[in-house]
Amino acid sequence: MGFIMIGIGSITDMGLNGALLQIISHGFIGAALFFLAGTTYDRIRLVYLDEMGGIAIPMSKIFTMFSSFSMASLALPGGHALQVSVQVISSSQIRYIKIEKCSLSLLPRPPVSQAFKPRFSNVFATSGFPSFEEAATEAEEKD
């Protein structure tokens, strides 16, 4: 759910597509795991795992499918959930970089001493601070 919220919050095409794919992927994988749990209960009629004694030998096909869907749910490499997670994270970083300067420029300007003016000049978009290029040239001149 966190990746879905991050993708929607990024408001980019890649983030929204990633959130939608995560919703679809989570739905299919979750439904498959619940189906396999129900099938296992119907065949064994036991609820507790310690009473089952393992399902790998009596139900090898169900165990294999359960293992593969469990790995897909964990977002391991090769699964669809990993691809979607990487897509959402990369889109959120792109959006964060675009929004960072806009949101920080709306914050009230804290009192800054003369020593820190060049350091914070690229964050605040108000007058009174030197531009990033001026701060870089000043820093090079000091070195």
pTM: 0.58
Q: Is residue 91 domain-shared with residue 142, that is, in the same domain?
A: no
Q: Is residue 79 domain-shared with residue 42, that is, in the same domain?
A: yes
pLDDT for the residue 106: 52
Q: What is the mean pLDDT of the chain?
A: 75
As a whole number of Å, the end-to-end CA separation of the chain is 49
Q: Is residue 34 domain-shared with residue 72, that is, in the same domain?
A: yes
Q: Is residue 77 domain-shared with residue 58, that is, in the same domain?
A: yes
Q: Is residue 113 domain-shared with residue 94, that is, in the same domain?
A: no
Does the pLDDT value for residue 45 go beyond 80?
yes
Residue type, 53: G
Q: Is residue 114 domain-shared with residue 95, that is, in the same domain?
A: no
At CB < 8 A and 24+ separation, what contacts does 122-129 make?
125/101
Q: Is residue 77 domain-shared with residue 132, that is, in the same domain?
A: no
Q: Which residues contact 85 (CB under 8 A, 6 or more apart)?
A: 3, 18, 22, 75
**62 and 36 in contact (C-beta within 8 Å)?**
yes
**pLDDT digit string, tens, across residues 13-30:** 888 888 898 899 889 999
Q: Is residue 115 domain-shared with residue 82, that is, in the same domain?
A: no
Q: Which domain holds residue 46?
A: 2-99
Q: Is residue 8 domain-shared with residue 64, that is, in the same domain?
A: yes
> 141: part of which helix (H) or strand (E)?
helix 132-142
Q: Is residue 73 domain-shared with residue 17, that is, in the same domain?
A: yes
